[in-house]
Amino acid sequence: MTDRATVRTEQGLDADGLRDAYRMMRTIREFEERLHTEFATGDIPGFVHLYAGEEASATGVCTNLDGRDSIASTHRGHGHCIAKGVEVKGMMAEIYGKATGTCRGKGGSMHIADLSKGMLGANGIVGGGPPLICGTALAAKIQGTGGVSVAFFGDGASNQGTTLEAMNLAAVWNLPAIFVAENNGYAESTSSNWSVAADNIADRAAGFGMPGVIVDGFDFFAVHEAAGEAIARARAGGGPTLIEVKFTRYYGHFEGDQQTYRADEVAHAREELDCLKRFRARVIETGELTAAELDAIDAEVLQLIEESVTEAKAAPVPTADDLLTDVYITY
Amino acid sequence: MARMISYRDAINEALTLEMERDETVIVMGEDNAGGASAGSPGEEDAWGGVLGVTKGLYGKFPGRVLDTPISESAFVGAAVGAATAGLRPVAELMFIDFMGVCFDQIFNQAAKFRYMFGGKAVTPVVIRTMYGAGLRAAAQHSQVLYPLFTHIPGLKVVVPSSPYEAKGLLIQAIRDNDPVIFCEHKAMYDVQGDVPEGAYAIPFGEANVVRDGDDVTIVALGRMVSVAEEAAKELAANGIEAEIVDPRTTSPLDTETILESVERTGRLVVVDESSPRCSVGRDISAIVAEQSFGALRGPIQVVTPPHTPVPFSDVLEDLYVPSAQDVVNAVKTVADWKR
C-alpha cells in the first residue's frame, strides 16, 4: 500500500508561492538557530526542543493549507506554529515567559497555540494531538467548511495508542484528516529503527485502510506534493492519509542533550541534504527565483528574529494576577 | 402538575432539547445509536447507548449522533478537538472507570487549554459518564471517580442526585463554555422524579438544600443524597433534624452554603460514595475544619465505603456502599459527642 512519492518538476507553486515557502523555512531555521544560541546563555526558562533540519515538513504541508484548516503539533512545535502563521514575535516572547507572549507567558515553548490561526497547540504529551484533529476534522465535516486537519507527530508518537486510535477513527468516520509522521530517527534517545516494529511508519496505514506515503523530509517539493495530494483527497471527501516524512534533526532531543546515542549524522545532513540549500539550488537552477531575491529574504528574516529576541527580552513579565486568570471562562 | 419521568429519560430530554435548540450540539460514544447506524444488518438505533440513555436521538438528529469504535482516547479527544472548533460535543464515556484509557485527553488537553493558551481557547465539551456501585458490576465498572476530575483545575464536575437535577444540570453543562464531566449514577437510571417539560438550567456552584434542619448538616453527593434523606427520616423520629445539602457540582463547590449551614448546626457529616482517601468528602471536611472550626460542636464525620476496590458479590457490595444506617450512626456519633 505504501507509495514512494516522486518529485515532479511541476510543484504547483508560482514565484510568490516559492518565495513564501522559502521565507517560512528560513524563518523556522533562524528562529531555531537563534534559540540554540540564546538557550545557552541561560536566559530562557524551562527547556526547548528545536525543529532545525525538519523545516521542509511543516512548510511543505502547511503551504497547502488555508484559514479553514487546523493543525496539531508536538513538543517540537515551533516550526509548525510558524508554518501555520502564528506570529513570530509573540512566539519568541512566549518562549521567554513574557506577558506579551502568544499565551501570555502561561504556555511556554511546548504549548504555543493560536486557535484563531487553526493552530491547536504544540503539545507536551507525545501522541496528544492526533485525537484532537479528529475533532477539528469532524467539526469541518459537519459544518461543511471544506477544512482539513493535520496532526504532526513524531516517530515516538507513532507508537502511542492515541495516534493509532485516531487513525482508525479518522478512517471509520471518513474524516478530512492527515497524519504526518515526522520520523527524525529518534524518540528522545531511542532509535526509531528499534522502536517502530514495522519497516516504515507509513506501512501501518494499510492497517487503517488509508494510503501511506513515504517522503524525503529534506525535500520541500516532495513533501509539498505528497501533502498536496493527500489534502486535496481529504477535501474532496476521500478520507485520511498517513504521510511519513524521514529526516534528521540537527539538534538533540532538547537543548543541552549531549546526543551520545547517535553518530555524527548531522554534519552530513547539514552539508549534503539540507532543505534550504536544496531549495535554493533548485529554484535558482530553474530560474524561478534569483539568488539575490533569496538573499534578501534571508536578511529580512534575520532582522525579524533579531527584533523578536530584542523585544522579547525587553517585554514585561506576567503579573501575580495572571496566576489566577483563565483557568475557567466562568466559575 | 407533577410529571414523573426517570433519571434516564430526564437526561435524554436534556440532550433532545439542547440539540433542538442548538445545532452545534452533537452526541458521540460507543453504541450511542448502534446497530444499522454503525453498519450492521440489525435495527437502526439498536441500543441508544449501553443503557439506552441516548435512544431515539439518532433518528431525530441526522448526522449529529455518532457511533464510535471502542477507542476512548480517540473519540474523547475528538470531542475536545471539535469543541475548540465551534461544536458543543457531548461525548459518552460509557463507564467512568474507562477514564483510565483516555484521561490524558481530559486532564492534559481539555482542562489545560484555556490557561495554557493564555485565555484564548474555548472548549465547551461535555463528557457524560456513569459511575457508582450497586449493579453487581464489580471493580472495573462500579467506581466513583469524580474526585479525580475534581482535583484538576480547568474541569467542572457535576454529580446530579435526581431526575430533576440531572436534566437541569445537563442543560447547563451543554451551554457551559468550559469542559464539564457529567457523572450519572448507574443505579439511578430508573429512579422516577418530578421533572418539568421545558428546558431549564441549574447553575453550577449553587448547592441545593434538600432538607432543612438545625441539628446537623449532612452534605451528600449524587446517589448518597437519597441515602441521606432516608437517614434523616429516622433521625427525625429520634428528635434530630438534619439539614441535607447537595452540592450538585464538586467543581465549582458551593462552600458558602455548606459553611453557612455548619455555622448554624455546629455538626457536619459528609456522605460520599467515593473511596475515602483524597476524596470530595474529605475535601469538604477539610474546608469546614479550616474555615468553621469554631462552630464545630463535635468531630466531622465522613461516611464513605472502605478503602477497597468495589467487590462483586452482592453480599459484599451491599456492605461496601454507605447505607442510611451508616449515616444515622455517624450523625449520632457527632450529636452525642462530649468534650
Per-residue pLDDT averaged across B88-95, rounded? Answer: 97
Q: How many structural domains compose chain B?
A: 2
Is A68's Cβ below 8 Å from some Cβ in B?
no
**CA separation, residue B103 to residues A226, B45, B178 (Å):** 34, 28, 17
B167 or B46, greater pLDDT: B167
**Residue B94: which domain range?**
4-194
Among the candidates B161, B194, B227, a domain finishes at: B194
Is B121's Cβ below 8 Å from some Cβ in A?
yes
Q: What is chain B's mean pLDDT, rounded?
A: 96
- Candidate from B80, B105, B115 with C-beta closest to A326: B115
Residues B142 and B230 in one domain: no
* Banded pLDDT at B1 (limits 50, 70, 90): low
Residues B11 and B62 in one domain: yes
- Comparing alpha-carbon positions, the chain B residue that sits nearest to A139 is B82
Is B87's Cβ below 8 Å from some Cβ in A?
yes
Indicate whether B20 pLDDT > 70: yes
Please count the other Cβ atoms lying within 10 Å of the Cβ belonging to residue A15. 11
The model's pLDDT over A221-271, given as tens digits with 9 standing for 90+, comes to 999 999 999 999 999 999 999 999 999 999 999 999 999 999 889 999 999
- Candidate from B76, B87, B101 with C-beta closest to A139: B87
Residues B31 and B175 in one domain: yes
Residues B184 and B133 in one domain: yes
The model's pLDDT over A27-58, given as tens digits with 9 standing for 90+, comes to 999 999 999 999 999 999 999 999 999 999 99
Q: Using the beta-carbon criterion (under 8 Å), do A135 and B119 form an inter-chain contact?
A: no
Q: Using the beta-carbon criterion (under 8 Å), do A161 and B63 form an inter-chain contact?
A: no
Residues B36 and B143 in one domain: yes
Q: Which residues of B are identified as catalytic?
A: 141
Which chain B residues have a beta carbon less than 8 Å from that of A102?
118
Q: Which fold has domain A2-257+268-314?
A: Rossmann fold (3.40.50)
Residues B181 and B316 in one domain: no
Residues B89 and B226 in one domain: no
Show the 3-state SS of chain B: CCCEEEHHHHHHHHHHHHHHHCCCEEEEECCCCCEHHHCCCCCECCCCCCCCCCCCHHHHCCCCEEECCCCHHHHHHHHHHHHHCCCEEEEEEEEHHHHHHCHHHHHHHHCCHHHHCCCCCCCCCEEEEEECCCCCCCCCCCCCCHHHHHCCCCCEEECCCCHHHHHHHHHHHHHCCCCEEEEEEHHHCCCEEECCCCCCCCCCCCCEEEECCCCEEEEECCCHHHHHHHHHHHHHHCCCCEEEEECCEEECCCHHHHHHHHHHHCCEEEECCCCCCCCHHHHHHHHHHHHCHHHCCCCCEEECCCCCCCCCCHHHHHHHCCCHHHHHHHHHHHHCCCC
B176 phi, psi to nearest 5 deg: -70, 145
How close does chain A come to B87, measured CA to CA in Å? 6
Residues B255 and B152 in one domain: no
Domain residue ranges in chain A: 2-257+268-314
Per-residue pLDDT averaged across B35-46, rounded? Answer: 84
Write the CATH number for B253: 3.40.50.920
Residues B9 and B129 in one domain: yes
Is B111's Cβ below 8 Å from some Cβ in A?
no
Model's pTM, two decimal places?
0.95
Per-residue pLDDT averaged across A21-25, rounded? Answer: 98
Residues B161 and B17 in one domain: yes
Residues B142 and B240 in one domain: no
Which chain B residues have a beta carbon less than 8 Å from that of A120?
81, 84
B199 domain-assigned: no
Q: Using the beta-carbon criterion (under 8 Å), do A113 and B117 form an inter-chain contact?
A: yes
d(CA B250, CA B224): 14
Residues B145 and B231 in one domain: no
B200 domain-assigned: no
The model's pLDDT over A84-130, given as tens digits with 9 standing for 90+, comes to 999 999 999 999 999 999 999 999 999 999 999 999 999 999 999 99
* Banded pLDDT at A2 (limits 50, 70, 90): very low
Q: Using the beta-carbon criterion (under 8 Å), do B87 and A101 form an inter-chain contact?
A: no
B202 domain-assigned: no
